Every structure is written in structure tokens, then in C-alpha cells.
């Protein structure tokens, strides 16, 4: 399980890497039952392939969750 501090550090690292991408809507931290804290990345609808190429599944022990925004 990841803790909130690790998730916040992972969020800042990821935010620095992808925040300028046109498909990136936002990056945040949330709690997910059974996993601990995760980083949630919201992307524009239809940009899943580009986002998956740039976003790792994990940073350390923190899981990254990619969510497409509504069109």
C-alpha cells in the first residue's frame, strides 16, 4: 500500500513530466480502497494511446490511474 506522501511525490514528478501535453487535463492524488493512495491522471477523450505511451503504470510503489474525460 502506498502512503499519501509517496503519492504526492509521484504526482509532482508526473505533473512536471506531462502537464504541458495537450491531452493532459489534470493530475491528482486520491485514496483507493485496498491499494492506498494513487495518482489519478485525467486525459482528453480520444487521447488514450498517446497518454499510455507517456505515463508509467507505477512510480515506485504508487499506482497511476488514467481516466478519459467525457467528450
Q: Running DSSP on this structure, what letter comes out for residue 46?
A: T
pLDDT bracket for residue 70 (50, 70, 90): confident
Give strand ranges (E) for the chain. 24-32, 36-43, 58-59, 62-68
For the sheet containing 24-32, what is the strand order? 24-32, 36-43, 62-68, 58-59
Is the CB of residue 45 less than 8 Å from the CB of residue 69?
yes
Q: For residue 35, what pLDDT is reported?
A: 87
Q: Which CATH class is domain 4-68?
A: alpha beta
Q: Running DSSP on this structure, what letter comes out for residue 35?
A: T
Q: What is the pLDDT of residues 5-54, one digit of tens each?
A: 999 999 999 999 998 999 999 999 999 998 899 999 999 999 999 999 99
Q: Can you give the residue ranges of every domain in the chain?
A: 4-68
Q: For residue 1, what pLDDT is reported?
A: 80
Residue 71 pLDDT greater than 80, yes or no: no
Amino acid at each position: 500500500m502506498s502512503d499519501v506522501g509517496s503519492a504526492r511525490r509521484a504526482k509532482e514528478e508526473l505533473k512536471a513530466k506531462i502537464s504541458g501535453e495537450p491531452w493532459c487535463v489534470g493530475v491528482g492524488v486520491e485514496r483507493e480502497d485496498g491499494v492506498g493512495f494513487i495518482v489519478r491522471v485525467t486525459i482528453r477523450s480520444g487521447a488514450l494511446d498517446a497518454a499510455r505511451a507517456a505515463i508509467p503504470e507505477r512510480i515506485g510503489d504508487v499506482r497511476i490511474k488514467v481516466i478519459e474525460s467525457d467528450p
